[in-house]
Amino acid sequence: MDYLEGLFLGKLWSDTDFENRRHLALFLLYGLFIDAIVFLCYWRNKLIPVLSGISTLKIVIFALLFLACPFICFRYYRMPLWGKILVLLEKLYKHVLIVGFTVSLILPRLSVKSGDLQDYMINYLNSTLEKYTEKFFESAGTFATIMGVVTGGIHVVLVFAFWALVAVLLPGAVYLIYRLLQYGYDFLIARLVIRRFFAKRKMERR
């Protein structure tokens, strides 16, 4: 429960030590989670219903939840249990929206259809090996094929490793940017609005 509160509420509103620890593994796991969803949708050639695209309604809902976040969270620990559960469910839904937005941004950029993926990979491998073999043909002579296969193979492995790294880090970077923006907005609202007006009301009631 403390971990969920720290993850969903953030540093300003949580009294857990979630934000005081490093969470590199969290962002890596988030990237792998997004990749798994993208792969599933790509292979099935359709979106998961709960993540079905970016719509105006979803953008409006997300914007409203983003703006309302500090006003929802600042009284979290004074809420009854059912209120806390509702807040955590709201945070969960907002994270589902972020996942849906990220998946919807990535999928259209996968130009190769899943049915053509095998042929595309084979053609790319063959063309890369041929390119390096031709490059070494004049200097290496009979060893041109061996040199072409070795260097071309290294090239393919490095390209694959690069895109695999991007596929994991990019969704994590998007999530990190969202958390930083939410923290910055919450910090401003906490300083300029909540502490000034809501703290005054508490003092007046006393």
**Widest CA span in the chain:** 92
pLDDT over 50 (residue 204)? no
Tell whether the model's pLDDT for residue 19 goes beyond 70.
Answer: no
Cβ distance 9 to 76 under 8 Å? yes
Number of domains in the chain: 1
Domain that holds residue 160: 2-205
Report the pLDDT averaged over residues 91-102. Answer: 90
Q: In this predicted model, which residue has the larger pLDDT, 52 or 192?
A: 192
Q: What is the pTM of this model?
A: 0.77
CA distance 32 to 198: 41
pLDDT reading at 67 higher than 90: yes
Question: Are 186 and 71 a contacting pair, CB within 8 Å?
Answer: no
Structural contact between residues 84 and 8, judged by C-beta atoms closer than 8 angstroms: no
Written as one string, the DSSP assignment of 4-56 is HHHHHH-TTT--SSGGGS--HHHHHHHHHHHHHHHHHHHHHTS--GGG----H
Count of beta carbons in the 10 Å neighbourhood of residue 76: 17
Q: What is the rounded CA–CA span in Å between residue 196 and residue 183?
A: 18
Work out the pLDDT band at 3, boundaries 50, 70, 90. Answer: low
123-146 pLDDT, tens digit each: 888 888 888 777 766 665 667 677
